[in-house]
Structure 1
């Protein structure tokens, strides 16, 4: 991972969230994907993706320039597992030149690997229907 972005995932949940936002908004899908375990599942695409399909999606999607802001609402952490409940707002450019705005709640599960570093294992954003426009 890029040390320029400071992408070692910290122990503090708010700092973890700040890092995820910064890397997501950088547009670097490969760097964003490097924060996940190899078998992690993400449904940012609207469907659960893992492995190469997840990596390909992040590269393509983040290259379009979406922007995210989020706030940690709750955290529950054990020695090697952390559950984060996050409120998010996501603006996605549309092919027509507009912006799709979404708001929702995300459930993130992080695990500590054998090197002692945190990685995302589950990333499940759920948009609020009334906020999708």
Structure 2
């Protein structure tokens, strides 16, 4: 992360590198409510391995982040119109399994963001796809 971010006042800018920094800071905070605040209410997330929206998405995100996973990501591609953007990142995620062991998941994530009426970008679709999984 290149800048210090205020987790209580996150702003997804037009800059994909800053967007990535914001997502990483929110995710790695371990606070599901902070990360979930980057989503529209009707957003779809596949973060749990199943496409979820609404309360089910929020619950899955909160449960996952409570385990303090560690996420790294790098912007691979970025495309934008005035009110929609597509960001593709390579990610490296280390999670704690139910048995207490660690697991590394690496893959690509395709995110669609939309600009709201307030001018701020929010997540509409979050679709991580694992390429490799290994126990650590």
Q: TM-score normalised to the size of structure 2?
A: 0.92
Residue 52 (structure 2) pairs with residue 40 (structure 1): no
Q: Which residue of 2 aligns with 1:4?
A: 6
The 4+ residue runs of structure 1 with deviation greater than 3 A are: none
Q: TM-score normalised to the size of structure 1?
A: 0.94
CA displacement 1:29-86 (0-9 Å, x = unmatched): 0110010011000001000000000011111110011110000000000000000011
| Cα shift at 1:4 | 2.8
Q: Which range is displaced more, 35-44 or 95-104?
A: 95-104
Number of aligned positions between the proteins: 129
**C-alpha RMSD of matched pairs (Å):** 1.1
| Cα shift at 1:8 | 1.2
Q: Which residue of 2 aligns with 1:132?
A: 133
Q: Which residue of 2 aligns with 1:99?
A: 102
Q: Which runs of 5+ in 2 are unaligned?
A: none
The structure where helix makes up a greater share of residues is: 1
Q: Which residue of 2 aligns with 1:31?
A: 34
